[in-house]
Amino acid sequence: RVLFRSDLASLEADPETILAVAADAPDPSGLAEGPRPERVLGLHPGAPLPGAPLPGSPSPGSRLLEILRGPATAPEVLATALGLARGLGRVAVVTRGGFIGPRMLGRLRREAGRLVHEGASPEQVARVLTEFGLAPAPLGLDAALPEGEPAAGHHRRAVSDDEILERCLDTLVDAGARILEAGGALRASDIDVVW
């Protein structure tokens, strides 16, 4: 039995229950709180593929399931989560210290916002990323990237497709390297699988 609950400390569960936190950014240290920290882990489904009805929600075409191993998560609990992923037809990636996808997506959103602020249109950013093979749906380009006024001393300018792609990819590479350096991913190929 797998139970999803955000308030782990107050949950009374039988010794066989696995407590799975389903959130974009659970506090990894919080997974060690509560009466049975060895039975706690985090689960995060992958971002939707293009055309998903609700940006940010899992879609049937998304095959990723990130499994956040807490500091005290027991090996058999991790094995059960991996079996759950397999049973759901998902590709599982085990992480430590936080989920890979949401952390990298946050960095990508910020860079896309900077590009729009400097002069690119949200549609241009979405097109460039889509043509490269990244789904723009998680960026929420329709609402999350206000054009706004540039900061004092800055002027809006034409931003080329090449600059958009280079800056967005550089941002993703840097974010992935930092996650790997901090031990958030077990190996570089896990980051590739997430993306």
Residue 19 pLDDT class (50, 70, 90 cuts): confident
pLDDT for the residue 21: 78
Half-sphere exposure of 141 (CA within 13 A, CB side): 20
Q: How far apart are CA 47 and CA 195, in angstroms?
A: 9
pLDDT for the residue 71: 86
Asked if 126 and 159 touch (Cβ cutoff 8 Å), the reply is no
pLDDT tens per residue across span 81-104: 999 999 989 999 999 888 898 889
Residue 56 pLDDT class (50, 70, 90 cuts): very low
Helix and strand numbers (H, E) in the chain are: 5, 5
Q: How far apart are CA 138 and CA 140, in angstroms?
A: 5
Most confident of 13-27, 63-77, 123-137, 159-173: 159-173
Residue 124 scores a pLDDT above 60: yes
Residue 170 scores a pLDDT above 80: yes
Read off the DSSP letter of residue 162: H
pLDDT for the residue 123: 92
- Per DSSP, what are the bridge partners of residue 68? 42, 95
pLDDT tens per residue across span 58-73: 445 578 899 999 888 9
Q: Which of 48-62, 109-123, 142-156 has the lowest mean pLDDT?
A: 48-62
Q: Which of 8-22, 77-91, 140-154 has the lowest mean pLDDT?
A: 140-154
Lookup result for tokens 């550089």: 170
For residue 22, what are the contacts with CB-CB under 8 A and spacing of at least 6?
4, 42, 43, 44
- Per DSSP, what are the bridge partners of residue 65? 45, 92
- Per DSSP, what are the bridge partners of residue 95? 68, 185
